[in-house]
Amino acid sequence: MPSATESKKSIIGLRIGQSYSSIAIINKDGRADCIANEDGERQIPTLVAFAGEEELAGTQAKAQLLSNSKNTISQFRNFIGKSFTECNSSAIKGTAQLVDKDGVAAYSVEFMNKESIFTVQEITTKYITSLRESAENFLGQPVAGVVLAIPTYFTDSQRLALKDATEKAGLRVLQLINEPTAAILAYESSMKPEEYNNNLHNDRTALILDLGSDSLDVTVMSIRSGMFTILVTTHDPDLGGAAFDDLLVNHFVNEFKRKTQIDISQNKRALVKLRNAVEITKKTLSSSSTSPCSVESLADGIDFHGSINRTRFEIMSNKLFTKILDVISNALKENNLDTQLIDEAILVGGASRIPKLQSKLRDTFKNTITVIRQDFEPDEVVAYGCAFQGDLICALDDQMIADSIDTSVTLVPHLSKPIGVLNAENEFVVMIPANTPLPARRIFQFSNMIDDQKKFYVPIWEGDIIVSKPSPPTDDNLDIDSNLDTSLQERHLISPAKMLAELVLTDLPEKKMNELKVDITIEIDINKKCIISAKDPISNKSVELEIQFTQ
């Protein structure tokens, strides 16, 4: 009997950023989408303000940043779960004072005409509560659960503290996932299953560049059969969108000084005003070549009108680009990874929109097949990933989720070197690439080289990576198909290093060229027993052998 379509469980994906947060849901089409708060903002400022007897959060709190900065709290996310001594209070720029409350970091604000002290966790709870209310206003029903994104560098205690704060805000936390993982999941989940299968096992290595407001995170992740393993992750707290803002602020401070002979470098109020204006200027520069910057009554009642063109900005921030690229290359180098092994680079974070950064990145991967992807909004992609994950696990109960994310399940051996077959032309065909989590199973179908081929020879090899061999330069504008072709060429870089075993399948039926199909299966089970088999599905003839791992 047809029943009215049951309203989908309202699961949200939540990313709490250092400066901005976003809430994502899965809409009716199965796509992830960010929802706007009551003020129409999809990017909700991570701010909490106390004004008189009111508690403000998000967009409303942003207005207080200027007029009521003493009672406005910003940039608090990274302090959660930390003791007072661990917090770098110098990072606070003209907002509420960080104080020590029994060793826990807390903010001192004036609330209800009284000096009040709120711990970072309490502030976070207040903020998340406001986000929850926004989500519920949008959905028109209570939020059933949330998947939270967290930076990879968060410690266990920070993760726990954030989870507690979220639960106190009245949300059921289904899972916490790493921000880069969420980003890559957003890309993976939006892929159709057919697409997935056609792309062989969709094994890729991705570099996720998360250039947030005030930190740079570089993560290299291997994707094997839809499973993600973080290979490298680095974190630079000094690089980020704020660093670009600083450059622009300096630039305009100098310009203002030149124009009016007024030095505002010590005028905190003027700097906050200018910083707010510069943020917009910077965003505009990503899409247009020049961008104005105007601040009414910047200092001494004098209005400021200035502008900057993109070239000037790029020259100014050249140092920063270099730094960012250095972070990437260092991360790769330290982990014996080559840029050529990176299949795609995924840009996350608002600052990653800067055109010059993208072109610099392309330069870095110039001689590789790397695809730079920013299909999704860099600001929102993390939240999307969370929403996808929430949608996936909302039907599971808490115990099931807890069991699944237990280290006994997640912590598994990964194949260190690829295993493959040498084909008729002595080319190495990788069947199971390196970094594949075990247990794993791969089935490839091979065909006969010549007519009436009665015997199949299957040499199993372990590969090794040859980095030095450069691959022909590729055009950035190549479409996906050609990229896939080049990805094959990339695999040629991996050469067979060690023969593991040989297999011969005999007495096969006589067939024309390419018409006899033989399934080659490599399965490594939980006990690290590797079984390799060759089978003709028609005649049911098969050979099977077992290889052990070396001690």
Partner 1 sequence: MSQSHLVLGVPPSSWDESSFKIHCGISEGVIRNIEPVGRYFLAHARRKLNNHSFSEDEHIQAEANAKQLEVIHDEDSEEETPELLSRDPKDWKEQDHYAILGLSKYRWKATDEQIKQAHRKKVLKHHPDKKASSGNTNDDGFFKCIQKAYEILSDPVKRRQFDSVDEAIDDTPPSAKAKGDFFEIYGPVFEREARFSNKTPVPMLGDINTTKSEVEAFYDFWYNFDSWRSFEYLDKEDTDNTDNRDDKRYIERKNKAERARYKKEDTIRLRKIIEDQALSLDLRIQKFKQEEKAAKEAKKKEKEDAIKNAKEAAQRAAEEERLKKEQAEAEAKLKQQEEKKEKANKKKMMRNERKSIKTHVKTHNYFYPPNEPPPIDVIETQLSELDFLFEKLSLEDHQNVRKQLDSIQGRHDAKQILVKEASRLVSSGVLPVDSIKYFKSDSIDVDVTENQAQKTTNIEEHKVTEEMPKERPWNVEEISLLIKAANKFPGGSLNRWERISEYVADHSGLPPRTNEELIKKSKEVQKGTVALDENDVRKLQHQKKHADTRITEHPSMREATIDYDAISASTANGSSTTNNTWSPAQQAQLERALQAYPPSWKGEGDRWDKIAEAVENKTKKECKLRVKYLAEQVKAKKAAQST
Q: Is 453 in the site for partner 1 (CB under 8 A)?
A: yes
* Given 31, 366, 455, 512, the residue binding partner 1 (CB under 8 A): 455
Q: Which is nearer to partner 1, 61 or 524 (CB)?
A: 524
User: Using CB under 8 A as the criterion, what x/- string covers residues 420-449 for binding partner 1?
Assistant: -x-xxx-x-x-----x-xxx-x--xxxxxx
Q: Which is nearer to partner 1, 23 or 382 (CB)?
A: 382
Compute CA distances 335 → 147, 219, 418, 437, whole Å: 30, 11, 17, 18
What are the tokens at 181? 């993982």
Q: Which is nearer to partner 1, 409 or 475 (CB)?
A: 409
Q: Which is nearer to partner 1, 56 or 382 (CB)?
A: 382
Give dist(CA 134, CA 293) in Å, integer.
32
Q: Is 140 in the site for partner 1 (CB under 8 A)?
A: no
* Given 115, 140, 301, 409, the residue binding partner 1 (CB under 8 A): 409
Give dist(CA 463, CA 460) in Å, integer.
10
Compute CA distances 43 → 59, 124, 175, whole Å: 9, 17, 22
Give dist(CA 181, CA 219) in Å, integer.
9
Q: Is 334 in the site for partner 1 (CB under 8 A)?
A: no
Give dist(CA 229, CA 106) in Å, integer.
36
Choose one: 34-42, 159-167, 249-257, 403-411; the region binding partner 1 (CB under 8 A): 403-411
Q: Is 404 in the site for partner 1 (CB under 8 A)?
A: yes
Choose one: 63-71, 78-86, 295-303, 399-407; the region binding partner 1 (CB under 8 A): 399-407
Q: Which is nearer to partner 1, 53 or 425 (CB)?
A: 425
Helix axis angle for 268-285 and 241-260, nearest 10°, is 120
Give dist(CA 478, CA 368) in Å, integer.
12
> Under 8 Å CB-to-CB from 90, ≥6 apart: which residues?
none
For residue 436, what is the DSSP state? P
Give dist(CA 470, CA 476) in Å, integer.
17
User: Using CB under 8 A as the criterion, what x/- string covers residues 175-214 for binding partner 1?
Assistant: x-xx--xx--x--xx--------xxx--------------
CB of 409 to partner 1, least distance (A): 5
Give residue 467's identity as a one-letter amino acid code: V
Give residue 325's identity as a one-letter amino acid code: L
| Residue whose token pair is 């088999």 | 533
Give dist(CA 146, CA 149) in Å, integer.
10
Site for partner 1 in 208-267 (CB under 8 A): 221, 225-231
Compute CA distances 173 → 130, 146, 183, 395, 512, whole Å: 16, 5, 19, 13, 58
Site for partner 1 in 467-526 (CB under 8 A): 484-485, 488, 498-506, 514, 518, 523-526
**Strands 114-119 and 145-150, sheet pairing:** unpaired
CB of 94 to partner 1, least distance (A): 38
CB of 499 to partner 1, least distance (A): 5
CB of 326 to partner 1, least distance (A): 25
Q: Is 346 in the site for partner 1 (CB under 8 A)?
A: no
CB of 297 to partner 1, least distance (A): 49
CB of 236 to partner 1, least distance (A): 22
Site for partner 1 in 374-393 (CB under 8 A): 385, 389, 392-393
